[in-house]
Structure 1
Amino acid sequence: MTAGMLPERVYSLPAQIDAVSREATLLRRFRDLLDELAPERAFGDRDKIAIKLHVGGPDSYTTVHPQFVRALVDRFATRQNFLYVVDEHRAVRTAGQRGYNQEALGAPVYPISGVVDRYLEERPVTDSPYFDTIKVAGMVAHADGLIVVSHVKGHASCGFGAAIKNIGIGCVAQETRNHIHVFEGHDNWRQDVVEAADIPHEALAEGIDQGRFFSHALARSAQEVLRHFDPAKVLCLNVALNVHPYCDCWGLSSPAFVPDIGLFFGNDPADVDEASLRAVEDAPFVHEALPAFLKPRLGSAGEPAPGQRLRLMHGKNPWYAVEEFRRLRGAPPAHPDEE
C-alpha cells in the first residue's frame, strides 16, 4: 500500500444519531474519524491542495453543507499547506450567496479554470474512442493534492452522480465538459423524447444504451484528471444527505427519495462511489418524493426491484462509470452482474 494511504478502502458514518448530544451528530463523528485517521499526513508540508466542491446554482439548498468542508480544512490549520476550494467558473460567481466563502470554509473559493475558463492543461489522448484531447482545469492540473467533496444524488445522464462524476466533468474545461455531454444524446433529441413519451425517463433509455457512452467518457476523463496525483494525495468524501434525483448544476433542489444515509470517505473514487451507490440502492425508498414524470414502476413489494431504483428512475445504468473507471485502472469490477 502506498505510504500515507488510508488503511481501509472506505470509511462510512451513518447519519442516524444514537443519543441526543452534540457528540453523536454526524459532523462531530466525522471530525472524530479525521482525528483517528489524520489524513493530512499523506501530504507534504507545503503542498498546494485543491478541494473540488460542487457549489450548485442560485436556487440550490441541498448541496454539501460548508461544515463538512471546514472539518477537512481544519486538519491543515497548523501546517504550511495552501488549501483552496474550486468549482466551475460560472457557479463560483454566486457561491457566496449559499455560504461557500472563505469565512465559512476556512479556504478561498476560486474558479477551477480561471474566470474565463482559459487556465487549462491540454492533454493528448490516444487510447480512447471518446477523446483526442482532455483539457484539465488548471487549478487541479497544477495542484499537489486533491480533496473531492461530492454530493451523492441521482443524475439524468448517468443515473448516479458522486466522486467520479465530480472529477470527470467537474475538473475539466467547459469544452471537454460539453464534449462528454455529446455522448448522452440529449439537447433537441432529448427534449423531443420528453415531450412525446408517456414515461419520459424510461423512453430516454432507448437508443443510448442506458448511458454507457456518457459514463465511459466520464470515467476516462476522471482517470486523466487524476493521472499525475499520488493516490495517497487524493481524498474523496461522499455526502449522502438530501439525496435527490438531479445534478446540483441544475441550480435547483427537490425532495430526497431516500432518507439521509451519511458519509463515505476514502482514497479511491470508485471505492467510495461503490459504497455510496450500494447504500442508496439499499435505503428505504420514498416513492412519494419523486415528481410523477420520474416515478419508476413499482414491483409487488411496493417499490422498484432491488438494486434497480436509479436505473429505472433515469433509464441509465448507474454502475457503468464505476466499472469503467476500475477497468481503466486495471482493477477488478465491483458489480459484474450489472449489464
Structure 2
Amino acid sequence: MADRNAGRAAAKAATVFFGSSKVARPSAEATLPGKLRRILQRLDLAALCQKDRVPIKMHLGGGLGYTTIHPVFVRTLVQAIQDAGGRPFVVDGYFGTIESAAQRGYTAETLGCPIVAAGGVYDSHLVTKKVRYRTLRQLEIFGAIWDAPCLVNFSHVKGHGDCAYGGACKNLAMGCVHGRTRGALHALEGGLEWDAEACVFCGRCVEACDRGAIEIDKAKRELDINFHDCRFCRHCVVACPQKALTMSDRTHFRHFHEGMALATKTILGSFDPRRVLHINLLTNITMICDCWGLSCPSIVPDIGVMASHDIVALETASLDAIEAENFIPGTLFRGWKLGEGGHLLEKIFGKDPYEQVRALERRGLGTSRYTLTEVQ
C-alpha cells in the first residue's frame, strides 16, 4: 500500500500490523487466520494479559446477519490469549444478544471460551460517568468492560450511515454503553432544520430525496428525517417551495463523531494503554452496520486483518485500505449511487469517515501517522 502519511500532523508513527487476505499458496498457514496467529505472536500478549481475565469486545450481530466476524478468527485469538496465560471471554452489550449468538455460530464450544453480557443478565451492571459535550451529559458504561483490567477490542469493519464508517471506535463507543447512552449519542446528529409552521406538507422534499430519508405524516403534521440515510445533498432544501427546510450546518454529523470519540476516550481511560489491543477485520465489508440484523454484498474485495495498540493509527490504516477504485458495482441498495467525495464511504454516505479519526486524535487517543508492518 502507498504511504498515506503525507499531510498528517508530524508525530511518531505508530505500528499497525497487517495480514492480507490474499493467499499465496494452498496452505492453511498462508490464509488469513494463519496470518492473524502470526500477528498475535508479534505482540506481547503476556504483558497485556498478566494471567488476568481478558475481555474480547465484539459485536455479535443479530437477526439474519451472516457477515460478522467468523468464529475461526475468534478462536484463533482466544487460543493466543490462553497461550499467553490469559483467561479470555467474549463480551457484547445486551443479554439478548448473547442469548441469540449461537444462531450465528458463537458458542463457548466454537470459540473456546465463555460468552457473557457486558451488563449482566438484566443489563443493569452499569457505571455512570459524567461528560459534557453539547446535549451529552453522561455515559452509562457496561460494568464488565469498566471493571476489566485489560481489553482486546475485536471489530468488524463496515460502512455506517450515521458516521460513514464503523470499526474499533464504534465497537467501543456504541457497543460498551447502555441504550440510553446510544440514544443520547445519536441525538447529536442533525444539520437540517424543519420549520413546521412554514411547511404545507406538499411532499416535494420526499420526492427529491433519492435515499428515502424523509417521511411526512400529513394527518399528524409531522416530518421525520432519518440522518442515517441522509447524505446532506440539499436536494430537499432546494425542492421545498416554502423554504421550510434549511441546512443549518453541512458538517453537523461531525458532532456524532465527537460524541463517539468522547465515549471512546472515557471507556479507554479505565485501562493502562499498554493493556489494550485493537484488532480490525477487513472482510465482508458491507455498506451498513451489523446492527441491522442483516447482511448485504461486500462493497470491496476482502482486504485482511490489522492490529495495533493505537486506535487512531488502526482506524486510519483501515480507512486508507478501503479504496474507491476497488468498489464492486451493484453492491449498493437499489436507487443508491456513488456521489462526490474523496473516500469511497464518503461517496456512498456523503460524510467524511476520516472525521472520526480526527475526532479521536483531537482527544489524544493516538496518532494518525502509522507504519504498516505486513506479516506474511
TM-score > 0.5, shorter chain as reference: yes
**In the alignment, does 2:250 pair up with 1:209?**
yes
Moved over 3 A (4+): 78-81, 192-198, 201-210, 330-335
- Residue-pair matches, total: 316
| Structure 1 counterpart of 2:331 | 289
**In the alignment, does 2:144 pair up with 1:139?**
yes
1:276 to 318, 322, 332: 318
| Structure 2 counterpart of 1:44 | 50
Within a 5 Å distance, the mapping from 1:45-194 to structure 2 comes to 45=51, 47-78=52-83, 81-89=86-94, 90-126=96-132, 128-185=133-190
How far off its partner does 1:79 sit?
Answer: 5.8
How far off its partner does 1:42 sit?
Answer: 2.6
TM-score, L = length of structure 2 = 0.78
How far off its partner does 1:162 sit?
Answer: 0.2
Report SS of the residue matched to 2:322.
helix
Q: Deviations over 1:78-125 (max 9, x none)?
A: 565332111121322211111111111111111111232211110112
Higher helix share: 1
| Structure 1 counterpart of 2:210 | 199
Q: Tell me, in whole angstroms, the C-alpha distance in 2 between the residues paired with 1:75 and 1:131.
A: 38
Q: Tell me, in whole angstroms, the C-alpha distance in 2 between the residues paired with 1:193 and 1:119.
A: 47
* Percent identity of equivalent pairs: 34
Q: Tell me, in whole angstroms, the C-alpha distance in 2 between the residues paired with 1:283 and 1:144.
A: 42
Report SS of the residue matched to 2:18.
strand
Q: Deviations over 1:306-326 (max 9, x none)?
A: x33211211222111211111
Deviates more, 1:78-87 or 1:233-242: 78-87
TM-score, L = length of structure 1 = 0.86
Summarize the Cα distance change of 1:321–1:80 in structure 2 as closer, same or farther, 3 Å threshold.
Answer: same
> 1:205 touches 1:316 (CA, 8 Å); kept in 2?
no
Summarize the Cα distance change of 1:271–1:332 in structure 2 as closer, same or farther, 3 Å threshold.
Answer: closer
Give, as a single letter, the amino acid of the residue that structure 2 aligns with 1:174: G
Report SS of the residue matched to 1:76.
helix
Summarize the Cα distance change of 1:310–1:72 in structure 2 as closer, same or farther, 3 Å threshold.
Answer: same
How far off its partner does 1:197 sit?
Answer: 3.5
> 2:14 touches 2:369 (CA, 8 Å); kept in 1?
no
Give, as a single letter, the amino acid of the residue that structure 2 aligns with 1:23: E
Q: Tell me, in whole angstroms, the C-alpha distance in 2 between the residues paired with 1:29 and 1:17.
A: 10
1:22 to 9, 28, 47: 28
Q: Tell me, in whole angstroms, the C-alpha distance in 1 between the residues paired with 2:83 and 2:286.
A: 37
Summarize the Cα distance change of 1:280–1:115 in structure 2 as closer, same or farther, 3 Å threshold.
Answer: same
Q: Which has the larger radius of gyration?
A: 2
Higher strand share: 2
| Structure 1 counterpart of 2:15 | 9
How far off its partner does 1:331 sit?
Answer: 5.2
How far off its partner does 1:8 sit?
Answer: 5.4
Q: Tell me, in whole angstroms, the C-alpha distance in 1 between the residues paired with 2:134 and 2:366.
A: 20
Q: Deviations over 1:216-236 (max 9, x none)?
A: 101101110100111111111
Q: Deviations over 1:142-166 (max 9, x none)?
A: 0011111111100011000000011
> 2:280 touches 2:306 (CA, 8 Å); kept in 1?
yes
Provide the aligned C-alpha RMSD in A. Answer: 2.5
Summarize the Cα distance change of 1:151–1:330 in structure 2 as closer, same or farther, 3 Å threshold.
Answer: closer
Q: Tell me, in whole angstroms, the C-alpha distance in 2 between the residues paired with 1:333 and 1:272.
A: 8
Summarize the Cα distance change of 1:232–1:330 in structure 2 as closer, same or farther, 3 Å threshold.
Answer: closer
Q: Whose RCO is larger (CA < 8 A, sep 6+)?
A: 2
> 2:279 touches 2:306 (CA, 8 Å); kept in 1?
yes
Give, as a single letter, the amino acid of the residue that structure 2 aligns with 1:96: A
Report SS of the residue matched to 2:74.
helix
Report SS of the residue matched to 2:35.
helix
How far off its partner does 1:205 sit?
Answer: 5.7
Deviates more, 1:222-231 or 1:31-40: 31-40
How far off its partner does 1:332 sit?
Answer: 5.6
Report SS of the residue matched to 2:326.
coil
> 2:160 touches 2:289 (CA, 8 Å); kept in 1?
yes
How far off its partner does 1:36 sit?
Answer: 3.2
Q: Deviations over 1:231-287 (max 9, x none)?
A: 111111100001000010100000001000000101122111111011013561112
| Structure 2 counterpart of 1:247 | 289
Report SS of the residue matched to 2:57.
strand
Give, as a single letter, the amino acid of the residue that structure 1 aligns with 2:316: E
